[in-house]
């Protein structure tokens, strides 16, 4: 799979500035399919595709109905830097609301059956849930 694609038609590029003409196998500076000289990375394409899919399937709107739930996309095989875990005392009702919300969000994504496809295109979804109580 090419790391770069034509920004206009998603034709595979050889590099950030080069395409291969399939007729002559010469390196050219424009897309042989549409003529564009702009490229994008495969990662950007995959993330755009994922967001389009999540919106098109209604997943984002279903999650927004749960409250302050947001999604973040990362490359599936990205290595996260080590983080220091901090233990915080959380009131039981807040913990319960968080657990229920995250479970519902996970269930929405599970029902959509997108995990296997996203893994194939190297995208993973991180679910962020905010539960806030003022004193």
4-45 per-position pLDDT tens digit: 999 999 899 999 999 999 999 999 999 999 999 999 998 899
On whether both 25 and 59 belong to a single domain, the answer is no
Q: What is the pLDDT of residues 94-104, one digit of tens each?
A: 889 989 999 99
Report residue 93's pLDDT band, with 50, 70 and 90 as the boundaries. confident
For residue 134, the model assigns a pLDDT of 61
For 34, 65, 95, 107, 130, the CA distances from 99, given in Å and listed in that order, are 49, 16, 6, 12, 11
pLDDT at 66 exceeding the cut of 80: yes
Nearest of 134, 125, 132 to residue 67 by alpha carbon: 132
72 and 117 share one domain? yes
Q: Write down the pLDDT at residue 135.
A: 56
Q: Within this chain, do residues 63 and 87 fall inside the same structural domain, yes or no?
A: yes
Same domain? For 59 and 100 the reply is yes
Whether residue 1 is predicted with pLDDT greater than 60 in this model: the reply is no
């Amino acid at each position: 799979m090419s790391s770069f694609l034509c920004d206009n038609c998603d034709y595979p590029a050889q590099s950030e500035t080069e395409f291969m003409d399939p007729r002559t196998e010469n390196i050219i500076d424009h897309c042989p399919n549409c003529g564009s000289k702009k490229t994008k990375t495969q990662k950007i394409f995959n993330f755009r595709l994922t967001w389009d899919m999540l919106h098109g399937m209604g997943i984002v709107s279903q999650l927004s109905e749960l409250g302050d739930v947001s999604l973040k996309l990362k490359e599936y095989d990205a290595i996260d830097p080590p983080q220091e875990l901090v233990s915080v005392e959380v009131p039981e009702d807040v913990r319960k609301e968080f657990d229920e919300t995250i479970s519902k969000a996970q269930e929405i994504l599970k029902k959509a059956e997108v995990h296997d496809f996203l893994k194939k295109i190297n995208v993973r979804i991180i679910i962020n849930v905010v539960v806030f109580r003022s004193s």
